[in-house]
Structure 1
Amino acid sequence: MTLNIEMEYETPLDFDYEELAKKVTEAALDYENCPYEAEINLVLTGNEEIQRTNREFREIDRITDVLSFPMLDFETPADFSHAEEDASCFHPDTGELLLGDIMICVPRMQEQAESYGHGQVREFAFLIAHSMLHLMGYDHMTPEEAAVMEKKQAEILEGLRITR
């Protein structure tokens, strides 16, 4: 698996975010039985940039904690079978499945960790697990979809022993 991380935010985090991001992305891929090595891009940014991106791509002019940009269209979440039919789903040099991009707003992540009463490690891991599920076709537009995502997020994090 390749995890490309771009740190746009000026203040460094006080935990090994690269190692944690890699562990959570791998755990999410394993949890969903992804049969391929995958490539994911992760951008850690600030309030202004995530608000601009949210406005540009979702037409929502506000700061958010995380944005997910899946590269694949799933008819059924985590059904990777259709990827074989389309060579553009794979990196031409590495052969890895191009799963998509995750953008995390560091200040919002830090604020949420404090307001929810758990550490930044747990909040960061949660946002990655949540976004990975989006990259694999899950959504939370209905209560039923939200329940599925919440269960999967919890199980991924529990498997890594990352709890509140």
Structure 2
Amino acid sequence: MSLKLEWIDERENGGGPEEADWPALLEKLLSLAGESEGVTEGLVSLTLTDNEGIRELNRQFRGLDKPTDVLSFPLRDAGEAPAIVYDGEYETEAVEIEGDWDEEDEEDEEADALVGPADQAPFEEPLGDIVISVPRMREQAEEYEHSRERELGFLFVHGFLHLLGYDHEDEASEKEMFAKQESVLAKAGLLR
């Protein structure tokens, strides 16, 4: 297994051509951040949204009825070894398969599902979800007078560190977290 990024774009019109290099940049940042933290396996889900989308999440999960730049939803407690988290509720949809199907095929199919083909990648452990407001990211890039890629990288690495249990509730933890972020961004060439 390895550290993987799942990409979801919830924006109404999606991204434009200026965002074509973002997936490669974010994969690189995930690799660098994971390497610096000793995290070599897991799945990180990234959702790009707009201000209204992140505002709704911020209100629902933090009780703050305003947009923000990034939210993180870790799937494990700080310091805890990765653990697969299930909510116990699965929605399934029955699919009718046409053709010759008998009980023996069904038994073979069930056995394959449990064992899986030898070349099939094992299940990726979810580390958590990061949600970034692209409009807010663009505003902040302009405000801080650096590139959009730098701001996107900053927010992504910030969110990833939150998934690992880092926080910035006090001055010492803020210094530690921001130093880690800057180190990863520097390795990626995303300087101010």
TM-score band w.r.t. shorter chain: 0.7 to 0.9
Q: 1:31 corresponds to which residue?
A: 36
Q: 2:10 corresponds to which residue?
A: 8
Q: 1:63 corresponds to which residue?
A: 67
Q: 1:150 corresponds to which residue?
A: 178
Q: 2:168 corresponds to which residue?
A: 140
4+ runs deviating over 4 angstroms: none
CA-CA distance at 1:26 after TM superposition: 1.2
**Matched residue type, 1:110:** R
* Secondary structure class of the residue paired with 2:126: strand
- Report Cα offsets for 1:53-74 as digits up to 9, x if no partner: 0000000110000000001102
Give % identity: 39
**Matched residue type, 1:38:** G
CA-CA distance at 1:20 after TM superposition: 1.1
Q: 2:147 is matched with which residue: 119, 124, 127?
A: 119
**Matched residue type, 2:9:** M
Q: 1:161 corresponds to which residue?
A: 189
**Matched residue type, 2:28:** K
- Is 1:102–2:102 an aligned residue pair? no
Label 1:4 to 1:11 Cα distance change in 2 as closer, same or farther (>3 A): closer
CA-CA distance at 1:12 after TM superposition: 1.8
Between stretches 130-139 and 14-23, larger displacement belongs to 14-23
CA-CA distance at 1:89 after TM superposition: 5.5
**Matched residue type, 2:34:** L
* Secondary structure class of the residue paired with 1:74: coil
Q: TM-score, normalised by structure 1?
A: 0.87
* Secondary structure class of the residue paired with 2:61: helix
Structure 2 residue runs of 5 or longer lacking an equivalent are: 87-113, 115-120
Q: 1:74 is matched with which residue: 68, 74, 78?
A: 78
Q: 1:129 is matched with which residue: 120, 132, 157?
A: 157
Q: TM-score, normalised by structure 2?
A: 0.75
Structure 1 residue runs of 5 or longer lacking an equivalent are: none
- Is 1:22–2:24 an aligned residue pair? no
**Matched residue type, 1:30:** E
Larger radius of gyration: 2
Query: How many residues are aligned here?
Result: 154
Superposition RMSD in Å: 1.9
Q: 2:46 corresponds to which residue?
A: 42
CA-CA distance at 1:159 after TM superposition: 1.1
